[in-house]
Amino acid sequence: MVRKAKVGAAFGRRGYVAGIQVGTYLVVADNSGAKEVQVIGVPGVKTRLRRIPFATVGDMVVVSVKKGKPELKGQIFRAIIIRQRKPYRRPDGTWVAFEDNAAVIVTPDGVPKGSEIRGPVAKEAAERWSRIANIATIIV
């Protein structure tokens, strides 16, 4: 009997490391007013029933603000992941890991809400989102 090929987002994203999943808390690395957010969704990821969706550096996620300005608490935003603690491999063979899991709050179009980014930004996120690369101070 011929085995059916496995297709879908989880298998189409070969080589990605599940560094950030739904429920993960992220540090906000911009000056938008939020300090800490929780990932509540990963848009565009279609996976098996009850499998927790994951994202990695450069992906857009849906987040809920947990700490920060009182008027922002509990609000839902989109964010781009710019750093993750879990090591991931680049095409040239190097492994990269950061000290924290961090994100930048953006509009649905990918325009950052803040005007500056604290700390380094992964090269993968800067290449994919040019508006983030424009305000980044360090790109690793």
What are the tens digits of pLDDT across the range 47-68? 899 999 999 999 999 999 999 9
> What range defines the domain where residue 22 resides?
9-139
In a domain, 108, yes or no: yes
The enclosing domain of 109 has a CATH number of 2.40.150.20
How many other β-carbons are positioned within 10 Å of the β-carbon of residue 122? 24
In a domain, 3, yes or no: no
Give the residues across from 60 on adjacent strands.
Answer: 80
Better-scored residue on pLDDT, 47 or 26: 26
Phi, psi of 124 (to 5 degrees): -65, -40
In a domain, 68, yes or no: yes
Q: Tens of pLDDT along 78-102?
A: 999 999 999 999 999 999 999 999 9
Q: How confident is the model at residue 6 (pLDDT cuts 50, 70, 90)?
A: very low
User: What single-letter DSSP state applies at residue 6?
Assistant: P
In a domain, 2, yes or no: no
In a domain, 67, yes or no: yes
In a domain, 1, yes or no: no
Query: What is the tally of structural domains in the chain?
Result: 1
Find the mean pLDDT for residues 25-46.
97
In a domain, 4, yes or no: no
In a domain, 89, yes or no: yes
pLDDT of residue 5 exceeding 90, the answer is no
- 124: tokens are 């993968």
